[in-house]
């Protein structure tokens, strides 16, 4: 694909050459267009060297019509970083430099923006209004992410990582963008589950009580499971979401949520509902062990002596559903591995009688617990294998649903 990378004047501009490099590596042709302020953060020489093409910065050079010839050349325009200024200009039809003029001329073709700015600026109603306007025109936003910002504070405003932006671009080639400017693989009737299908999803951590005020838990946020429930509901399924403790909320007429705390409660809820389901995706991070006894009062310190907890194994929900499963049901498990990833995942798939296993490798940056992104390999029992780039958990959920449920 012929991609134009637009760069505006934010500190994250230093990551733009890396994005260009990743796109070139993926086989795309790239040309860059930068604002004058962008060149305070990244040099012309760098951008021309990594892209292998002349940089477009000046509306009045090259016969004054380069914004038209460049528009005709490009098949996709990606602005990374996109400052509040360029977002505001495009939303209001202002074309006063090379990049903003190109953006207005580029209508009718896919545009992706990776906003980056201070968190107060991002939260400002003017910026949010402009973002909503751009999304309503089909411009797709990647990020911003939450994290430490260049100004020293933490909040939402950090540009998505180049790998994530590149991943979104590759997906954009294949996936459609809905009117809200968000990825939508499921909008078409062929991408709906059969009428009346019911799916079980487990999500989040489990808490295993030690006494009346303490528990053993884990860092699972529930984000992946909630995104799966949403993607299944968007595809027309009735969803039984069995979730461990999480602050997340979800509101969809076809999602029925059961909140549980411990692995044994999740086991009871999941095994009860599974016989009525067409399939199940178990993404919960279930504690493998629980204290053998739970005190009904707060345990007291016992002087300077250490404390020993006696643990017993919890039931394996996934393996139990694997043994209950009929030929008509689809069962999907997750595997979070740190080494021998593929071999371990394959072993789990067979041992627990699964149809698919979704492998997360903790070696991948941006994948795993707590973060908003993920990178997975979906392995099927029939030998199928689908690897995703780094994407948001919502996008990963859509890919999984497409692979296992449609
Ligand atoms: N799972 C489950 N019930 C459990 C434990 C895990 O349903 N008691 C499910 C998870 O929801 C996930 C998959 O099993 O889909 C993870 O498999 P598992 O073998 O438990 O992974 P690990 O706990 O990482 O196993 P190991 O310690 O063997 O690596």
CB-based contact 209:288 (threshold 8 Å): no
Nearest CA owner, ligand 1 atom 12: 334
In a domain, 304, yes or no: no
Check pocket membership of 374 for ligand 1, CB cut-off 6 A.
no
Same domain, residue pair 247 and 341: yes
Q: Which atom of ligand 1 is nearest to the CA of 270?
A: 7
Substitution site in 206, 260, 284 for ligand 1 pocket (most atoms within 8 Å of beta carbon): 284
Choose one of 157, 186, 215: the last residue of a domain: 186
Residue 302 covered by a domain: no
Q: Is residue 299 part of a domain?
A: no
Residue 201 lies in a domain: yes
Residues 146 and 226 in one domain: no
**Residue 151 a catalytic site member:** yes
398: containing domain: 189-294+309-404
- E strand or H helix at 400, and its extent? helix 393-405
Question: Sign of torsion, CA 122 124 126 131?
Answer: positive
Identify whether residues 164 and 234 lie together within a single domain: no
Number of domains composing the chain: 2
Beta carbon of 345 within 6 Å of any ligand 1 atom: no
Of 162, 186, 210, the residue that ends a domain is 186
Q: Are residues 168 and 209 in the same domain?
A: no
User: Which strands form 29-34's sheet, in the order they lie side by side?
Assistant: 29-34, 2-7, 76-82, 111-115, 140-141
Q: Is 318 in the pocket of ligand 1 (CB under 6 A)?
A: yes
Question: Is the domain of 204 the same as that of 161?
Answer: no
Distance (angstroms) between ligand 1 centre and the Cα of 282 equals 9
Q: Beta partners for 330?
A: 279
Q: Is the CB of 228 under 6 A from ligand 1?
A: no
Residue 270 CB less than 6 A away from ligand 1: no
Residue closest via CA to ligand 1's atom 13 equals 334
Q: pTM score, two decimals?
A: 0.61
Q: Would residue 371 count as lying in a domain?
A: yes
**What's the pLDDT at 178?**
40
In a domain, 89, yes or no: yes
For the chain, helix, strand, coil in percent to 5 are 35, 25, 40
- Which atom, in ligand 1's list, is nearest to the CA of 288? 8
> Is the Cβ atom of 263 under 6 angstroms away from ligand 1?
yes
By most ligand atoms within 8 Å of CB, the mutation choice from 218, 289, 313, 318 for ligand 1 is 318
Atom of ligand 1 nearest to the CA of 283: 11
Give the ligand 1 atom nearest the CA of 344: 29
Whether residues 144 and 38 share a domain: the answer is yes
54 and 131 both lie in a single domain: yes
Catalytic annotation, pick one of 151, 170, 277, 294: 151
CATH of the domain at 280: 3.40.50.10300
Residues 223 and 330 in one domain: yes
Is position 378 within any domain?
A: yes
- Residue 180 sits in a domain whose CATH number is 3.40.50.1950
Task: With respect to residue 180, please indicate whether it lies within any of the assigned structural domains.
Answer: yes
Residues 33, 168 within the same domain: yes
Q: Give yes or no: residues 120 and 56 share one domain.
A: yes
Q: Are residues 244 and 369 in the same domain?
A: yes
pLDDT of residue 67: 67
197 and 174 part of one domain: no
**Is residue 335 lining ligand 1, measured as CB closer than 6 Å?**
yes
Supply 84's token pair: 């509040």
How far apart CA 29 and CA 48 sit, in angstroms, is 13
Compute mean pLDDT per 10 residues along the chain, 406 residues long, and list them: 95 96 91 96 96 88 69 92 97 94 87 93 95 88 84 84 84 45 41 90 98 95 94 94 94 92 98 98 98 92 85 98 97 91 93 96 70 87 88 89 94
H runs (alpha helix) in 185-288: 223-234, 263-273
- Render pLDDT for 360-383 as a digit per residue (tens, 0 to 9): 877 777 676 767 788 899 999 988
Give the number of the atom of ligand 1 that is nearest the alpha carbon of residue 284: 11
Question: Residue length, the chain?
Answer: 406
Cβ–ligand 1 distance for 284 under 6 Å, the answer yes
Q: Does the Cβ of 349 fall within 6 Å of ligand 1? A: no
Domain endpoint, select from 186, 218, 238 = 186
H or E element at residue 397: helix 393-405
pLDDT of 64 reads 61
What string of DSSP letters covers 318-383?
HHHHHHH--TT-EEEEEEEESSSHHHHHHHHHHHTT-SEEEEEETTSTT-SSSSSEE-EEEEETTS
């Amino acid at each position: 694909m012929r991609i134009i990378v637009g760069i505006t004047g934010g500190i994250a501009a230093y990551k733009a050459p890396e994005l260009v490099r990743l796109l070139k590596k993926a086989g795309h042709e790239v040309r860059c267009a930068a604002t004058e302020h962008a060149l305070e953060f990244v040099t012309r020489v760098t951008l021309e060297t990594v892209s292998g093409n002349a940089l477009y910065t000046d509306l009045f050079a090259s016969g004054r019509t380069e914004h038209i010839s460049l528009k005709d050349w490009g098949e996709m325009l990606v602005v990374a970083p996109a400052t509040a200024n360029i977002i505001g200009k495009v939303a209001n039809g202002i074309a006063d430099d090379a990049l903003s003029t190109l953006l207005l001329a580029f209508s009718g073709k896919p545009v992706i923006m990776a906003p980056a700015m201070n968190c107060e600026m991002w939260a400002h109603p003017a910026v949010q209004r402009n973002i909503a306007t751009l999304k309503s025109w089909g411009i797709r936003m990647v990020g911003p992410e939450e994290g430490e910002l260049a100004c020293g504070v933490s909040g939402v405003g950090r540009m998505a990582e180049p790998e994530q932006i590149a991943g979104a671009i590759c997906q954009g080639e294949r996936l459609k963008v809905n009117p809200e400017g968000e990825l939508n693989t499921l909008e078409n009737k062929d991408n709906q589950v059969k009428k009346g299908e019911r799916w079980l999803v487990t999500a989040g951590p489990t808490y295993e009580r030690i006494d009346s005020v303490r528990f053993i838990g884990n860092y699972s946020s529930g984000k992946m499971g909630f995104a799966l429930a949403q993607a299944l509901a968007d595809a027309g399924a009735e969803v039984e979401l069995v979730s461990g403790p999480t602050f997340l909320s979800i509101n969809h007429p076809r999602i029925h949520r059961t909140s549980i705390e411990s692995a044994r409660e999740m086991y009871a809820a999941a095994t009860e509902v599974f016989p009525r389901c067409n399939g199940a995706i178990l993404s919960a991070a279930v504690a493998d062990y629980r204290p053998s006894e739970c005190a009904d009062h707060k345990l007291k310190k016992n002087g300077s002596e250490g404390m020993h907890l006696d643990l017993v194994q919890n039931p394996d929900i996934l393996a139990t559903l694997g043994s209950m499963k009929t030929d008509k049901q689809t069962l999907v498990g997750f595997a979070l591995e740190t080494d021998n990833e593929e071999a371990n995942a394959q072993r789990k798939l067979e041992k627990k009688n699964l149809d698919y296993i979704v492998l997360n490798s903790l070696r991948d940056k941006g994948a795993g617990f707590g973060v908003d992104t993920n990178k997975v390999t979906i392995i099927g029992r029939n030998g199928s294998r689908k690897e995703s780039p780094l994407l948001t958990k919502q996008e990963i959920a859509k890919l999984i649903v497409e692979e296992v449920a449609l």
